[in-house]
Chains A and B, each alone.
Chain A
């Protein structure tokens, strides 16, 4: 498989799995306004998935579609970051996960707008507008809840402590990432960390939350080496229709 294929798969799997996770809130959010906002975010991410997985399928060149990649692969073939597959937890944790991802996503897409590969920069140009809004929204909510009541503050601090060890993976390149950087397709992941840290520190300071000292990072999602036990459960929900009724369409 080409480097471009591997890279597109990693981007698409992260947006797919996070999009699916966020969609689990549909009809369950604490207020109607947040329910619709989360559904919009999920739909944006699924829309971006169609582009990324469409590109991966095109590069694969075996006639597969984005749908085939989304619905007919098993857990070990997924290349999403671990952060995206973690359970929603409470509303606060969902928004904390969203912010930690959005902030990375925005920096990544901004860098990808300068990709040497036109199909990549085209996707980035479209997605960056959606994601600029995602980060604005999740950031405001993290600040509102972090600097809110004692209860909401505690829940947000717990969420940050739980999720932070999954942030490092987003900035840890492997051979595939190095090849993508070499080819000018994607930025060096590690080079995004300084801007990320600056933005996250500012947000957490405003939210009166403390970022954990440890930089320990769970890894293995983007390389496919080892996912958490949660991914398989997501797939049973996400893929059951195509598994039970192969080829079903509407």
Chain B
């Protein structure tokens, strides 16, 4: 077994109402310590309201070589962008 601490991906929510955003990664022996380390490494300048940690090994990522089948089909489908509707002024920003 490796003697290195596992890698954790850190997600921080900056303000209420926003989503957690990936801010980086760090090493820690367990989830509790990962939260403490995240507090010390990533929230020193008052960035956070809430911290999520996920062990990097538990993240399944898409493969860069699948780029074609994954993303190209949507390039030619402009009608999926809701830009063809007239939005009334008083709706505001969408």
Interface residues of A, Cβ cutoff 8 Å to B: 31-33, 36-37, 40, 133, 136-137, 140, 144
Contacts of A32 on B, CB cut-off 8 Å?
26-27, 41
Determine if B32 and A33 form an interchain contact, defined as CB atoms under 8 angstroms apart.
no
A140, B32: Cβ atoms closer than 8 Å:
yes
A33 and B29 in contact (CB under 8 A), knowing A136-B36, A137-B36, A140-B36? no
Can you identify 24 A-B contacts, CB atoms within 8 angstroms?
Answer: A31-B5, A31-B27, A32-B26, A32-B27, A32-B41, A33-B27, A33-B28, A33-B37, A33-B40, A33-B41, A36-B40, A36-B41, A36-B44, A37-B36, A37-B40, A37-B41, A40-B40, A40-B44, A136-B36, A137-B36, A140-B32, A140-B36, A144-B29, A144-B33
With a cutoff of 8 Å between Cβ atoms, the chain B residues found around residue A33 in the complex are 26-28, 37, 40-41
Residues of B within 8 A of A144 (CB): 29, 33
**Within 8 Å CB of B41, what residues of A?**
32-33, 36-37
A31 to B28: give the CA distance in the assembly, Å. Answer: 10
Closest CB-CB distance, B35 to chain A, in whole Å?
11
Tell me the bound Cα distance from A159 to B26 in angstroms.
28
What are the 10 closest A-B residue pairs judged by CB atoms, nearest first? A33-B37, A37-B40, A36-B40, A40-B40, A36-B41, A33-B26, A137-B36, A33-B41, A33-B27, A31-B27
Given contacts A33-B26, A33-B28, A40-B40, contact A140 B5 (CB under 8 A): no
How many angstroms from the CA of A155 to the CA of B32 in the assembled complex? 23
A136 vs B36: C-alpha distance when bound (angstroms): 9
| Beta-carbon contacts under 8 Å, B65-89 to A | none
Q: Which residues on the A side are within 8 Å of B39 (C-beta)?
A: 133
Q: Chain B residues near A36: list those with CB within 8 A.
A: 37, 40-41, 44
Majority-rule SS of A interface residues: helix
CA gap between A144 and B34 in the complex, in Å: 13
Within B1-49, which residues are at the interface with A (CB < 8 Å)? 5, 26-29, 32-33, 36-37, 39-41, 44
A32 to B24: give the CA distance in the assembly, Å: 14
| 10 additional contacts (CB under 8 A) given A33-B37, A40-B40 | A31-B5, A32-B26, A32-B27, A33-B26, A33-B40, A36-B44, A37-B36, A37-B41, A136-B36, A140-B36
> In whole angstroms, how far apart are the Cα atoms of A206 and B50 in the complex?
28
Give the CA-CA distance A136 to B35 in the complex, in Å. Answer: 12
Residue of A nearest to B8 (CB): A33
